Amino acid sequence: MSDFLDGQTIVIMGVANKRSIAWGCTRAIMNQGAKVVLTYQNDRIKKSLKRFVPEDLDLLECDVSEDENIEKAFAEIGDRYGKIDGVIHAIAYADKDTLTSGLVNTTKDGYDLAQNISAYSLIAVARYAQPVLNNPASILTLTYFGSTRAIPNYNMMGVAKAALEANVRYLASDLGATGIRVNAISAGAVKTLAVTGIKNHGELLKESESRTVDQKSVTTDEIGNVAAFFMSDLSTGMTGDVVYVDKGVHLI
């Protein structure tokens, strides 16, 4: 493959460790020639990144729970790199009680936290990234099938993903005139830190693998390759879309 992201600068939010979907995206996007800047949640994650991320990869702190942090991070990105070409948002969180106790038992605080980190943060990222994004540019987020189906034990995260997908459509409409497109990849289940918070996640992963077209789960590299396409000008005709990268799980 040629280096179709040569000369581009892409910000990737949400690498926690080598298993992270965002790390699959980072590798694929670097393979296509882009410069990547990673944002991380806190010092604990930074320590984890230092163990495997190449030294020449730039890191910047951004806990998305507060708008000021997002505003500051993108202002810093603008100062350091000038205009950028894309942002990948691979961030979600719900506290353990909220994730495990069934939607009917979700508290207001648990609901607010999950929506804030997993769905609202995309809006804030789009707002503060906008001034530093080129025309054309691309924003991509990660969602899951539990947004449209009641997947056992996905609970509140399914509600947050439904909101996230609606955010994608409205942001795409808001930002279209400035050449910024907004899309989501609906990824198949892969074993990451985030998935281990889901009750009986072993069952979910097994069931998901058995429903792929070839009984082999999608990999973070395969998800990353589609993310690279979304970051590139090959995808300028697509915005407001949710594209499945799950080896056919959603078909069956």
Please list the active-site residues: 144, 154
* 92 is a contact residue toward ligand NAD (CB under 6 A): yes
Residue 10 φ/ψ region, left for φ over 0, alpha for ψ in the -120 to 50 degree band, beta for the rest: beta
Q: For ligand NAD, give the closer residue by CB, 135 or 210.
A: 210
Q: What is the dihedral of CA 127, 137, 88, 161, to 10 degrees?
A: 60
> Which residues, at least 6 apart from 134, have a Cβ–Cβ distance to it below 8 Å?
83, 84, 85, 179
Least spacing, CB of residue 90 vs ligand NAD, in Å: 4
Burial level of 16, CB count in 10 A (0-12/13-18/19+)? Answer: buried
**What is the C-alpha separation between 245 and 117, in angstroms, rounded?**
23
Asked whether the beta carbons of 126 and 108 are under 8 A apart, the reply is no
**What is the C-alpha separation between 231 and 252, in angstroms, rounded?**
29
Q: Which stretch binds ligand NAD (CB under 6 A): 98-106, 168-176, 190-198, 229-237?
A: 190-198
Binder among 12, 29, 73, 189 for ligand NAD (CB under 6 A): 189
CA proximity to 115, closest of 178, 74, 158, 54: 158
Q: For ligand NAD, give the closer residue by CB, 26 or 41.
A: 41
For 62, the 3-state DSSP assignment is: coil
Binder among 142, 151, 156, 180 for ligand NAD (CB under 6 A): 142
* 192 is a contact residue toward ligand NAD (CB under 6 A): yes
Binder among 10, 12, 16, 125 for ligand NAD (CB under 6 A): 16
Q: For ligand NAD, give the closer residue by CB, 112 or 233.
A: 112
> Which residues, at least 6 apart from 199, have a Cβ–Cβ distance to it below 8 Å?
99, 100, 153
Where does 42-105 have alpha helices with state H?
Answer: 43-50, 67-81, 96-100
Backbone angles phi and psi of 9, in degrees to 5: -120, 125
Q: Which stretch binds ligand NAD (CB under 6 A): 1-9, 11-19, 26-34, 236-244?
A: 11-19
Q: For ligand NAD, give the closer residue by CB, 41 or 235.
A: 41
Amino acid identity, position 87: V
* 125 is a contact residue toward ligand NAD (CB under 6 A): no
CA proximity to 97, closest of 85, 107, 83: 107
Least spacing, CB of residue 179 vs ligand NAD, in Å: 25
Binder among 75, 166, 193, 234 for ligand NAD (CB under 6 A): 193
Q: Which of residues 209-228 bind ligand NAD (CB under 6 A)?
A: none
* 129 is a contact residue toward ligand NAD (CB under 6 A): no
* 128 is a contact residue toward ligand NAD (CB under 6 A): no
* 207 is a contact residue toward ligand NAD (CB under 6 A): no
* 166 is a contact residue toward ligand NAD (CB under 6 A): no
Contact positions vs ligand NAD (CB under 6 A) = 14-16, 20-22, 41, 45, 63-65, 90-93, 117, 142-144, 187, 189-190, 192-195
